[in-house]
Structure 1
Amino acid sequence: MDDGIRVGLLLVATPQLDDPNFRRTVVLVVEHDSDGGTLGVVLNRPTEIPVDRVLPPWAELATGPPVLFQGGPVALDNALALARLPGDDEPLGWRALDGDSEVARVGLVDLDAPPALLAPELLQLRVFAGYAGWTEGQLLAEIQDGAWYLVPAEAGDVFAADPDRLWQEVLRRQGGDLAFVSTYPDDPTLN
């Protein structure tokens, strides 16, 4: 059964989603198996922790802001990184997310690999603490309940220079009703 969820798509929290872990978040789907589950990383939750405090060898390669991002509420003591590469080569220590999407040249980085191995190949790199995860059918049920919009990603979304504006920017570029949702006030009771 095709549930429409694919690696490389974005999950954008609807205004109705008030879970503090996901309120106004943009999540990149990095793994999906309709018979298993889904794994993603929240793209717009920078922390104040510099990358060099947690992963010093990777700090010089981190795209600004060069801080750790909270990738989700699961396994916050584990880090994963996403990097964008030019060209078609797949260097050791990097695995592409999806060959057919706008984020085709974005992939997962093996943080145990020596940074010097990937440094010449990297255009951008971002490090995330934790991830978001859903069991089989859970994410589809949340989408059907109106918690998430499922929209195409652009490579620049992963490395947004102003992650605090990413939710609005992604919705705005969708056009139509979703562009209108991008103007939804942070607290509608004050409107």
Structure 2
Amino acid sequence: MRPEPAKASSAEAGYLGGQVLIAMPSMQDPRFAKSVICLCAHSSEGAMGIVLNRPLEGMSFDELLAQLGLKPVPPQRRIRLCQGGPVDGGRGFVLHTLDWSNDQSLRVTEDLGLTASVDILSAIAGGGGPRQGILALGYAGWGPGQLEDEIQANAWLSVPPDEGLLFGEDGDRKWFQAMAKLKVDPLLLSGAAGHA
């Protein structure tokens, strides 16, 4: 799914755009076990998000800039790189605070944007750009109704985002930090869905 401009009414209609998804302890898919995902777009057409807690191994921000032919290298500023999900792994997305944007930026929330153009990388390398950001290669995507079905089957929980969850460095602990926002012990959660 290609990110589309967020509709202001999506939250009112029961969609979770802008929320953080937390994989339940019972998540069987190894690509998403203990994952924390910022849901960037969610509508009747599907959903798109960025996995926040899978650091990108084997490439630094400096190496990426050199590969793309962007200057300056070394940069005046750097951002963290992560594996954003299993879809379109060669494509980069910067999840960032909305104190910087361009005409290609998707507004995720009042304070959060997603940009897939190299302009943002040049701005960051030059010492400017958004106050906070992470660069994700790839994304997580769901077709129409798929995420809703997974939530109904008890695969995901959701919490409001905060900058620590979105941009914090501690990838290994981020799942526990997200669970702590719910004030729930993950060891006490059941993977069985309940129905009244």
User: Does structure 2 conserve the Cα–Cα contact (< 8 Å) formed by 1:61 and 1:124?
Assistant: no
Aligned mates of 2:77, 2:135 — CA distance in 1: 10
Once the two structures are superposed, the pairs formed by residues 9-88 of structure 1 within 5 Å of their partners are 9-34=19-44, 36-48=45-57, 49-56=59-66, 57=70, 60-63=76-79, 66=80, 68-86=81-99
Q: Does 1:134 align with 2:147?
A: no
Give the TM-score, by structure 2 length: 0.75
Aligned mates of 2:102, 2:93 — CA distance in 1: 17
Name stretches of at least 5 consecutive residues in structure 1 with no aligned partner: 100-104, 185-191
Once the two structures are superposed, the pairs formed by residues 124-163 of structure 1 within 5 Å of their partners are 124-163=132-171
Q: Does 1:96 align with 2:104?
A: no
Please report how far the alpha carbon of residue 116 of structure 1 lies from its aligned counterpart in structure 2 after TM superposition. Answer: 3.2
Give the TM-score, by structure 1 length: 0.77
Structure number having the greater strand percentage: 1
The residue matched to 1:153 in structure 2 has which SS?
coil
Count, aligned residues: 170
Name stretches of at least 5 consecutive residues in structure 2 with no aligned partner: 1-9, 190-196
Identity %: 32
Aligned mates of 1:11, 1:121 — CA distance in 2: 26
Structure number having the greater helix percentage: 1
Cα deviation per residue 1:46-84 (whole Å; 9 max; x = unaligned)? 022212222343865333xx3x21100001111111122
Q: Where does residue 180 of structure 2 map in the other structure? A: 172
Aligned mates of 2:51, 2:65 — CA distance in 1: 19
Change (3 A) 1:43 1:4: same
User: Does structure 2 conserve the Cα–Cα contact (< 8 Å) formed by 1:62 and 1:124?
Assistant: no
Q: Where does residue 117 of structure 2 map in the other structure? A: 111
